[in-house]
Amino acid sequence: MPDVRLSSPQGRWILLTTVLGSSMAMLDSTVVNVALPRIGRDLNVDLAALQWTVNAYMVTLAGLILLGGSLGDRYGRRKIFVIGVVWFASASLLCGLAPSAGVLVGARALQGIGGALLTPGSLALIQASFHPDDRAKAVGLWSGFGGIGAAVGPFLGGWLVDGPGWRWVFLLNVPLALLCAPIAVRHVPESGGRAFRPRGAEAAGAGGAEGAEGGGAPGRFDVLGAALGALALALVTYALIEAGRGSLVVAVTAVAGIAAGVAFVYVEKHRPDPMMPLDIFASRQFTVVNLVTLCVYAAFGGFFFLTALQLQVVVGYSPLQAGTALLPTTVLMLLFSSRSGALADRIGPRIPLTVGPLLCAVAMLMMLRVGRGADYLTDVLPALLVMGAGMVTLVAPLTSTVLASVDTARAGLASGINNAAARAAGLIAVAALPLLAGMGPEAYRSPDAFDASFRRAMPLCAAVLVVGAALALAAVRRPPPDCNRPECRTHGNITTPPLDPGRIGGGATPGGGAPR
């Protein structure tokens, strides 16, 4: 049983390590959008390259995050976390030194792999290290400090872009990693792998689990499923970004992406130890809430990608001003998400998951006032405050309902699937929304062209949110009183719902469930 106390020196070192690691990935997801116009001008690239700068990272992260949790269970959570930190920092260094857009996009994809290793690992280390009496407080501090990092991210990113340059948005991760990795090696106890043998692993090992010999998590890695999932996302994303060119290559890529998606479902259905056991979707509530997640985070992904550009290209803000302008949404999330979760526990999730998306839809329609000469206090801030209120209303209840809709043994898996679904929705939105809004490859260089496309895009995002609200109203029900409750109550990340403790993507048993 883990026995590290939060008040001990080792407990404080563990908390610092996990906060530093998760902050690297969280900062990266919030600061890059602010840097996009400068990246485009410096590297002389079109809008498609800027879309790939965001999406290359999201493709590998969304496709591999479940597998990342399994690797920690098998080979040691501290070991995989440290590898993820070093990998992420190395890829960040390559991003910062990239001489061309092609190198930058490739490095961003490598960054996503590092993020898939360290993101679930930071929370798993808390779950595995702290005494049960201190675990909830440790998770609360971890999520609170992470939220502060998310709030600081756009401001810090804008300051870096305006000051030393956009490359420092990525290079900042290197000193963080140089601080985080040695602390982890010295002060964080190993768990998983040889240091941890789950109950029943001996019996499962008879079924052919390679890691069982070393006391690892039972079951084999679903590498094929992870590869097919990431490939499907990459191919579909490419087809959407390049669709405006109308070439045969784009059509072939689209068909190949759909085929890879079908193959992914087939593999997950027929493997004895799938990365994403499809029977978890037998829960109607779980399925519906993930559909709501897809709608909500697709709209969020498109909104924050385009708004960071709109504020700079059309309104004329500097990167620092644009990053600072976006702070209210994150600050509201950080201050009120836990209270929203408590309210949803009392009244049920149906109303928050209906009202929250509708408030966000109203905010996106209010953004139609943000154009040339827009005033921050009367045009930009009101929309962002309504947006923040909507996000506060829905994010915590969404996470609670996901966990409440499955058995306790599958809580970590459910949280991981929901998080991956949100990331996939965001990357598809960043790929598809410029196409649907008629945004040309050079639109971000022309204030008039970009403003016209932005005004077509915001109603599309609002419509997707209305669909999500309608799904929640029609199908979400109050969970039973003895259901799973999330430990991550404070949340400041605007791009994905919070991961929650558990075997996030951990190896499944032959029956398809995550082992207890």
* Digitized pLDDT (tens) for each residue of the chain, 516 residues in all: 567 888 899 999 999 999 898 888 877 777 898 999 999 999 999 999 999 999 999 999 998 988 888 888 788 889 999 999 999 999 999 999 999 999 999 999 999 999 999 988 888 888 888 888 888 788 878 877 877 777 787 888 899 999 999 999 999 999 999 999 999 999 999 886 654 444 333 333 333 333 333 333 445 678 899 999 999 999 999 999 998 777 888 999 999 999 999 999 999 999 888 889 999 999 999 999 999 999 999 999 999 999 999 999 999 999 999 999 988 998 898 888 888 888 888 899 999 999 999 999 999 999 999 999 999 999 999 999 999 999 999 988 898 899 888 887 788 888 889 999 999 999 999 999 999 999 988 999 999 999 999 999 999 999 999 999 999 999 999 888 777 777 777 777 777 888 776 544 443 333 333 333
Two domains, one topology: 1-190 and 276-479: yes
Cβ–Cβ under 8 Å, residues 231 and 250: no
Backbone angles phi and psi of 124, in degrees to 5: -65, -35
Give the per-residue pLDDT at 258. 96
The closest of 422, 348, 423, 394 to 491, measured between CA atoms, is 394
Torsions phi, psi for 191 (to 5 deg): -145, 155
CATH 1.10.645.10, applies to 276-479: no
- Separation between Cα atoms, residue 350 and residue 15, nearest integer Å: 34
- The helix/strand/coil state of 166 is coil
| Cα–Cα distance measured from residue 21 to residue 179, given in angstroms and rounded to the nearest whole number | 10
Residue 493 structure tokens: 């990340």
Query: Of 232, 295, 286, 498, which Cα lies nearest the Cα of 278?
Result: 286
d(CA 240, CA 106): 18
In order, the DSSP letters of 169-184 are: HHHTHHHHHHHHHHHH
Close Cβ partners of 160 (under 8 Å, ≥ 6 residues apart)? 31, 35, 166, 168, 169, 172
Q: Give the three-state DSSP class for 204.
A: helix
**CA distance linking residue 43 with residue 408, whole number of Å:** 49
CA-based torsion, 334, 338, 339, 345: positive or negative? positive
Distance CA 301, CA 319 (A): 19
Positive/negative CA dihedral, 353, 358, 360, 361: positive
Answer positive or negative: Cα dihedral of 239, 232, 399, 155.
Answer: negative
Give the pLDDT confidence score for residue 197 in this predicted structure: 44
How many angstroms separate the CA atoms of 146 and 155, rounded?
A: 15
- Contacts of residue 262, defined as CB under 8 A and 6 or more positions apart, other chains included, come to none
Token couple for 482: 């003895």
- C-alpha dihedral sign at 290, 295, 298, 299: negative
Tokens for 254?
């689209």
SS3 130: strand
CA dihedral of 441, 444, 449, 450, whole degrees rounded to 10: 120
Phi, psi of 514 (to 5 degrees): -75, 135
Closest to 30 (Cα-Cα) out of 434, 333, 359? 333
Measured CA to CA, the distance from residue 275 to residue 225 in angstroms comes to 7
| Residue 211 vs residues 221, 248, 366, 438: alpha-carbon distances, Å | 10, 45, 54, 51
Question: Which is nearest to 100 in space by CA: 157, 159, 165, 53?
Answer: 53
Q: Report how many helices (DSSP H) and strands (DSSP E) the chain contains, helices first.
A: 17, 0
Q: Determine the 3-state secondary structure of 235 from DSSP.
A: helix
Q: What topology does CATH give the domain 1-190?
A: Growth Hormone; Chain: A; (1.20.1250)
Residue 83 identity: I
Domain coordinates in residue numbering, the chain: 1-190, 223-274, 276-479
Question: Which residues is 130 bridged to in the sheet?
Answer: 4
Q: Are 218 and 209 in contact (CB under 8 A)?
A: yes
Residue 461 and residue 480 in contact, taking contact as beta carbons nearer than 8 Å: no
d(CA 65, CA 233) in angstroms, rounded, equals 13
* Tokens standing for residue 240: 């959407």
- Phi, psi of 371, rounded to the nearest 5 degrees: -140, -155
Cα distance between residue 205 and residue 479, in whole Å: 35
Distance, CA of 321 to CA of 334 (rounded, Å): 21
Give the chain's largest Cα–Cα span.
69
Q: Is the dihedral of CA 41, 451, 233, 507 positive or negative?
A: positive
Residue 349 DSSP one-character state: S
Which sign does the torsion angle of CA 436, 439, 444, 449 carry?
Answer: negative
Taking CA atoms, 378 is separated from 123, 240, 375, 392, in Å, by 40, 35, 6, 22
SS percent in the chain: helix, strand, coil, step 5: 75, 0, 25
